[in-house]
Amino acid sequence: MVRFSEAVGRAGPAMMLLWVMVAGGLGSGARYLIGQWAMAALGASFPYGTMIVNLAGSFALGLVVQLASSGSLSPEMRIAIGAGFLGGFTTYSSFNQDTLALMSSGATGTALANLAVTVIGGLTAGLLGMTLGRAVS
């Protein structure tokens, strides 16, 4: 039986595209489920689901990039996870729309909080992911 990492590693351009598409679908599904959970668990007064996904995605992409640059993760796996799963998972466009909607509704303080936590938190999460990647590679 061929392992996923071996199959992706041997993928030609057409198969690589298929892996990105499949992984992107899984990432989108995960984003949807986290958004639904956050809405039920934390309420709708703040875009918690989008923020959680963006922070987790920033961390994960930092980890993937570091592991790939150290040779611990193949370039093909980096593409499948980074462009595929994390491309479908992260929600910058949703973050943008959520922030603009908050501003348009007069919730400027909440919009600025969302902006600050997501941008600063995303950069911090990416740095932590790279640090973990260095530690394990």
What pLDDT does 11 receive?
63
What pLDDT does 97 receive?
85
The burial of 73, by beta-carbon neighbours within 10 Å (0-12 exposed, 13-18 middle, 19 or more buried), is given as buried
pTM (2 d.p.): 0.77
Secondary structure percentages of the chain, helix, strand, coil, to 5: 85, 0, 15
Nearest one of 99, 110, 90 to 24, comparing CA atoms: 90
**Model pLDDT for residues 38-68, shown as the tens digit of each residue:** 999 999 999 999 999 999 999 999 999 999 9
**Model pLDDT for residues 26-42, shown as the tens digit of each residue:** 999 999 999 999 999 99
